[in-house]
Amino acid sequence: MPPPGADRSAEITEALVRLLDAEDQDVRLSGAYGLALRDDPRTVEAYARVGRLDRTEYEHDHRADGLWRWKLRNAPSG
């Protein structure tokens, strides 16, 4: 059995995109983070849809740094 989160199917990716329409910011953050883990090109837009995060509430939340890590992985080398 594959580890949790290992499903890279289009169905799961599209489900993550649908989470970006949720009213709850935490749900939108989960969707954006899931896209970042999949190196999806919609990651930047997804984090924009999350909105501004409260620093105290999300200070230690690994999902909040997902966009930064995604940008590092996808930066042009050279």
- The number of CA neighbours under 13 Å toward the Cβ of 35 is 27
- At 21-77, the pLDDT tens digits run 999 999 999 999 999 999 999 999 999 999 999 999 999 999 999 999 999 999 887
The answer to whether the CB of 20 falls within 8 A of the CB of 28 is: yes
Can you give the pLDDT at residue 29? Answer: 97
In this prediction, residue 78 carries a pLDDT of: 63
In terms of DSSP H, where are the helices of 1-78?
10-19, 25-37, 43-50, 55-58, 66-74
In angstroms, the CA 2 to CA 59 distance is 30
Can you give the pLDDT at residue 5?
59
